[in-house]
Amino acid sequence: MYAVRNLVRRACSALEAGMRGVLLRPEQAAYKQARLLVNQRFDGIRPQAIAHPADVHDVVKCVNFTRTSRIPLALRSRAAAPLHRRGWGRRPAH
């Protein structure tokens, strides 16, 4: 198990070095807050890393990284504003 963790750490370091954005890992202070989701039902999930890509190139690097390393990928997006503020999910005015 230690060998696998060490391999993941080295791979994440290589990914982080090539990113413009931020890659958070469990040993970093910002990781704890970043891993929390709106739905507390999933608070027990502890990803091996959390990427905050700066641009589309970072996204491509992350996807290719997970593909070649066979580390599972889970996506989460951040909307610029909640859906109801953009008019989605509202009932039409009568």
* 82 assigned to some structural domain: no
Which own/partner contact pairs does 3-9 have at CB distance under 8 Å and 24+ positions apart? 8/48, 8/69, 8/71
- Whole-structure pTM over 0.85, yes or no? no
Instruction: Examine residue 1 and state whether it is found in any structural domain, yes or no.
Output: no
**60-69, pLDDT tens digit by residue?**
999 999 898 8
Domain span holding position 59: 13-74
Tell me, yes or no, whether 88 lies in a domain. Answer: no
Number of domains in the chain: 1
Q: 19 and 25 in contact (C-beta within 8 Å)?
A: no
Q: What is the CATH number of the domain that holds 54?
A: 3.30.43.10
pLDDT of residue 34: 86
